[in-house]
Structure 1
Amino acid sequence: MKRKSILSILILAITLLGCGADNKTKTIRLGHGLDVSHSVHKAMVKMGEDLQERSGGKLNLEIYPSQQLGTERECLELLQIGSLDMTKVSVGVLENFAPKMKVLGLPFLFRDRQHSFDVLDGPIGKMLLNDGEKYWLKGLGYYDAGSRSFYTMNKPIEKPSDLEGEKIRVMESVTAVNMVKALGGSPTPISWGELYTSLQQGVVDGAENNPPSFYLSRHYEVCKYYSLDEHTVLPDVLLIGTYVWNKLNEQEQKWLTESVKESVKYQRILWAEAEEEALREVQKAGVKIFRPDKSLFAEKVQGIYEGYKDDAEIYPLIKQIQETH
C-alpha cells in the first residue's frame, strides 16, 4: 500500500471526525493497520456489536482497518490532536509516545504467556494504560499479540551468531533496535505495510513477528525459515484519544470500558486458535520451523537490562514485573 502523507490522512480523519453525530447516536471511529481476517479486527467487530447493544444504539463503532487512515504512528498522532477517536497499536510503537511502555518491549521479560497476562491485567498493566493520558492517549486494554520470533530468507536463526550481517526489519522502536543490535543483527525500521516488498527486493534479509502476522501478511512466501526464539511478548494496545474520552459522559465511558473487556477476552481465545492455524499453514507452504535454545538469546541481551539500572522509572518497573506471580 502506498504510504499516505500525514496531511491527506489528517484531512480524511477530520472529515470523519467521531463523536460528532446527533444527540441520539455518537459514532466512535477506530482506525488500525491490520487485515480484516486478523483476530484483533474480529474482536473489534464484536466490540462494536456489544457497544451498540449495551448503549441501546447511543454509541456506534465504525472501524477502518488495513491502514486506511495511516500507519500506527500516524494514527497515534491523529488521536493526540483529536482528529481520530480510537486506534490499536503495538507497544513497540507506543513507547515513542508513552515512554514507560518501553518496559514491555524488553526481550525475555516474561516467564511465559500466563505471566504476561498476570502483569497486563493487574495493577502494573493498568498503571501503564493510564500513564499515556499525559500524552493525550488513554489506554483501554491489551490484545494478545503472542511472542515475536525471527523469520528469514536465506538461513535459519538457530543461535545469536546467525544474525551477524543480517538486516532485520524492526518496528520504529528503540528497544527493538537495541535488541537486534545486541544479538548481532542489523536492525532496519520499516513500516509494516512496506515490508513484503522490502523482503522481495532484498532491502532486508528477514523480520521478526508472531505466527499469525507472519502467516496473514504472506511473508512466508518469501521467508522460508521461522525460528521460534520468542524473544519478546509485545501486546497490542487499544487506545482512545483523551479529547474524545472526555467528551463521553460517565455512562458512555462505562459502556465502552465494558465492551472493551469483553472484546479482549474474545480476542485472546481467537488468538490461541490463530497461532495454531498459522504454524500449521506456513509449514504446509514449505516453511521450516526451528525451536532454538532461548537461553542463548537471553544471555546476549542482558546488557539492555544493565542499561536501565540508573533509570528511576523503568528499572523499578522491571523488578516489579519479574516479581509478579
Structure 2
Amino acid sequence: MSRKFRSILMVLVLALVFGACAKKNETKPAKTIIRVGHNQSQNHPTHLGLLAFEKYVEENLGDKYDVQVYPSELLGSQIDMVQLTQTGAINICVASNAILETFNDVREIFNLPYLFASSEAYHHVMDDPSIVKPIFESTRDGGFEGVCWLDAGSRSFYTKDKPINSVADLKGLKIRVQQSPTNVKMMNLLGSSASPMGFGEVYTALQSGIIDGAENNEMALTDNGHGEVCKYYSYDMHQMVPDIVIANYHWLESLPKEDRKVFDEGFKILNEVQRKEWQTAVSKAKDKAENELGVEFIYPDQKPFVDAVSPLTQEVLKRNEKLIPFYEAIQKYNKQFPAKEG
C-alpha cells in the first residue's frame, strides 16, 4: 500500500470515527474538538507535557474547546500524523525533526550529525527565536508550522549481540534510523546498513532479527522495551534531534485572537513541562536499563565517529546553501557552551 493511499485511507477512517462521535454527542453543547497525536506512551514526558497543555487550554477555554490527546501512534505513525495535520484531519501532532526535512529541506540543519557541542548549546539554539522561528514557519505552504520544540535528548547506538566500541563495529550491521535521507547517508558513512522505519515497528524488528540495532535516547530502552532485546548502549551521541510540535496552519490562523493567545501560552507550558520531566525520566531510564534489564553502557571515543561523518555536513551545506546562516549561528553557541570534559 502506497504512503499516499494509506494517508488518504487514514483520513477517511478518522472522518468516519470522529463523525460518529460528533453525531452521538450532538445534543450536548457544541465544543470544538482539538485532536493531538504523538507516538510515545502515556508515561513519556511528551505525553505529560501534552496533558499540561490540555489542562491549561480547557481551564481557560473549556466552554469552547475539548482537547483530546492520542498517544502511542493511535492516529498512525509520525509520517501519517504529519500528513493528517497537513490536511486538518487532526490539529496538532508531535514529530521528530528528522522526518520533517522531507517537507522542507531547511529542516535538514537539525538532522546533521554532531551539530551541537553540548546539551547547553543545543538548548540555547532551540530557545533562540531568530534561529528556530523561520525554520518552524518554513512549512506553512505545506499546511503546517512548528509551534514549539520538545527535548528528545541525544541519540546513540544500541545493539543486540555486539557492543559498539568503535566505528568498525558498525560495519555490516542493520541499524534502524528515522525516515530521513540525512540519517541514511550518515549510516552509510559509518559502514552500516540503514533500515528506515516507523518507531512503532522497531521492537518487533529487533526481536525478529530484521535489524541488529537502532539509535535513540535512553528512554527507548525502558519506555519502549528495547532494552529487553538490546543489551549494549554506546554513547557516541551522534545527534541531538528535537521533536517538533506542529499544528495545522489554517486552523491556527482561524483562531480568534484571544483564543490564540491561550493556545500559544499552552504551547509554552507544554515545552516547559516536557523538558523538566525529560531530565527526571532519562535518569530513571538509565538506572532501570542498567540495573533491571542488564543493559551495558559503553563510552567509545567520539572523535572517530565525528571524523567518519564530517563529509556529510560539508556535502549538505554545499548543496543547501540556505543552511549556512543557521549553521554559523549554531557554531557561536557551540563556542559559548563547549563540550565538557568526560
Equivalents in 2 of 1:306, 1:71: separation in Å? 31
Equivalents in 2 of 1:203, 1:56: separation in Å? 47
Find the counterpart in structure 1 of residue 298 from structure 2. Answer: 290
Report the alpha carbon displacement of residue 7 of structure 1 after superposing the two structures with TM. 4.1
Report the alpha carbon displacement of residue 56 of structure 1 after superposing the two structures with TM. 5.0
Equivalents in 2 of 1:57, 1:159: separation in Å? 57
Write out aligned runs for 1:15-30 (5 A).
15=16, 16=18, 25-30=31-36
Report the alpha carbon displacement of residue 84 of structure 1 after superposing the two structures with TM. 1.3
Report the alpha carbon displacement of residue 24 of structure 1 after superposing the two structures with TM. 6.2
1:271 aligns with 2:272: no
1:128 aligns with 2:135: yes
SS at the partner of 1:301?
helix
Report the alpha carbon displacement of residue 246 of structure 1 after superposing the two structures with TM. 2.0
1:138 aligns with 2:145: yes
Letter aligned with residue 7 of structure 2: I
Give the TM-score of the pair, scaled to structure 1: 0.94
SS at the partner of 1:309?
helix
Equivalents in 2 of 1:185, 1:207: separation in Å? 11
Letter aligned with residue 294 of structure 1: Q
Percent identical across equivalent pairs?
Answer: 32
- Count of aligned positions: 321
RMSD in angstroms over aligned alpha carbons? 1.9
Q: 1:203 to 1:220 in 2, by over 3 A?
A: same
Provide structure 2 residue ranges, at least 5 long, that are not aligned to the other structure.
Answer: 337-342
Letter aligned with residue 9 of structure 1: M
Equivalents in 2 of 1:303, 1:181: separation in Å? 11
Write out aligned runs for 1:1-325 (5 A).
5-15=6-16, 16=18, 25-55=31-61, 57-122=63-128, 123-284=130-291, 285-307=293-315, 308-324=317-333, 325=336
Please give the per-residue CA displacement for 1:127-158, whole angstroms capped at 9, x wherever unaligned: 21111212111111001000000000111111
Equivalents in 2 of 1:6, 1:101: separation in Å? 22
Give the TM-score of the pair, scaled to structure 2: 0.89
Letter aligned with residue 332 of structure 2: E
SS at the partner of 2:176?
strand
SS at the partner of 1:239?
strand
Please give the per-residue CA displacement for 1:45-73, whole angstroms capped at 9, x wherever unaligned: 11100111132533331111111111000
Equivalents in 2 of 1:171, 1:45: separation in Å? 26
Q: 1:56 to 1:194 in 2, by over 3 A?
A: closer
Report the alpha carbon displacement of residue 101 of structure 1 after superposing the two structures with TM. 1.1
Equivalents in 1 of 2:65, 2:301: separation in Å? 49
SS at the partner of 2:89?
coil
Moved more, 49-58 or 145-154: 49-58
Report the alpha carbon displacement of residue 310 of structure 1 after superposing the two structures with TM. 4.0
SS at the partner of 2:236?
strand
Q: 1:208 to 1:24 in 2, by over 3 A?
A: same
